Amino acid sequence: MTKHFYYKVINKKHQTVSGHITASSLAEAKSKLINDKNTILEVKPKLFYMSFSSHIFTKKIPPEEIISFTRQLHTLFIAGIPLLECLKLLLSLIKDKSLRKILEQIIISLKKGSSLSTSLSNYPQTFSKEYVTLIKAGETSSSLGDILADLYQLMHWEKQLKQKIWNSLRYPLIVISAAMLAIIAMFNFVIPKFAKMFANAKQELPTPTKIILALSNFFTNNRILIVIIILTIIVTIFILNKIPKTKKLLSLLMLNIPVFGKIYQKYLITRFCKVFAILYQRGIAVLPTLQILKNTSKNTTYQFDLEYLISQIQTGQSLGQATQHTFLFKGTVSHMAELGTKTSKLGIMLEKISELYTEDINYILENIFAYIEPLFIIIIGAFIVILAFGLLMPIWNMAQVIMN
């Protein structure tokens, strides 16, 4: 869990500076500051109400703004303009007020001697852990310009993928929403009218009709209870997602949901391959690359696989051998990684895998409704048949009694 810490340090220019930093623990916060060649004077957790209020009231900056910022920073930086001057120029180009305020603080931080990655890490709601980690990798390997270009391409790819997912799911979601509204309207307004009519008839009702009327009565008379149950389920899932053992189980369930789980698996694999290729081709070794990648996803299964890979690489195994025994990366990734290791083209091979899986994701998204349309038809058809059978049978019986 990310926490906020206040710090006061003497930087490498022998200046006393203070500010805020995010880390999972006090030890990690101190480690970050020491890694940036600071002498620590004071580090302490921020007050809860300050962290909570800043989290609630800080305006969320659109991803498009971050993508645009990264692209413009890359353009200026590769033109040979010093980093600080690049940021000052961007200050006049950025239209988003919140991002401009953050950029002003980053410029102040850089002037005080902090690195760009440390300055960015103070704004976790704007710059993700992965973004900061990759920037740090660029600073370490003296390839910040290349990393900025790769970051832009990665974020642009993600944005396009999210747009494709939304476009693919829009029609199914409209159908599901319309069906749910129709069911709620039936149980709350239509069926109660039939219930009055059947009560006046004073005849024995068939079992399906009794079940439908009982459900209608339950939904009509227990609306508050239903809302409480739904909220309880949501809160329970949220709490379970905070417990390590149940969080791991939930993440595994997410990866095994029909159709959508497959998309999520391929997305995680594609992202892993893309980021790995970026870092590896910038001269960062396999083990540090895996340690960076471990923090780029909140999915516990993914993190567990990365921890396993790190432990196996430390014992001397190759990436291809280690991935054979993981949940996500066994199979194609494992074989291609082994081949890439033998031919000294690991980065290129992983880049090709990311392209292959991107094509797979695009194909699934283009044909997703073909996968779930039969299920929709069966469920909606079954509901209509049961409802019609349950409501029309008593009417048919009453008609027979009147005719006789």
Domain end among 9, 28, 57: 57
Domain end among 16, 31, 57: 57
CATH number of the structural domain spanning residue 361? 1.20.81.30
Does residue 278 belong to any structural domain of this protein? yes
Domain end among 34, 57, 80: 57
Does residue 226 belong to any structural domain of this protein? no
- In whole angstroms, what is the distance from residue 286 CA to residue 270 CA? 17
- Tell me phi and psi for residue 357, to 5 degrees: -70, -30
Coarse DSSP helix, strand, coil percentages of the chain, rounded to the nearest 5 percent: 75, 5, 20
How many other β-carbons are positioned within 10 Å of the β-carbon of residue 257?
Answer: 12
Does residue 338 belong to any structural domain of this protein? yes
Decide if 276 contacts 289 (C-beta within 8 A).
yes
How many domains in the chain?
2
| pLDDT at position 1 | 54
Does residue 65 belong to any structural domain of this protein? no
- Tell me phi and psi for residue 257, to 5 degrees: -65, 130
| pLDDT at position 65 | 92
| pLDDT at position 90 | 92
Does residue 357 belong to any structural domain of this protein? yes
- In whole angstroms, what is the distance from residue 241 CA to residue 205 CA? 46
| pLDDT at position 50 | 46
Domain that holds residue 303: 260-366
Ranges under pLDDT 70 in the chain: 1-2, 46-59, 201-202, 295-296, 401-404
Quick one: how far is CA 220 from the chain centroid? 37
Does residue 329 belong to any structural domain of this protein? yes
DSSP string, 146-182: HHHHHHHHHHHHHHHHHHHHHHHHHHHHHHHHHHHHH
| pLDDT at position 96 | 87
Does residue 49 belong to any structural domain of this protein? yes
Helices and strands, number each (H, E), in the chain: 19, 3
| pLDDT at position 56 | 43
Q: Which two tokens stand for residue 189?
A: 């307004």
- In whole angstroms, what is the distance from residue 283 CA to residue 392 CA? 73
- In whole angstroms, what is the distance from residue 254 CA to residue 300 CA? 11
Does residue 31 belong to any structural domain of this protein? yes
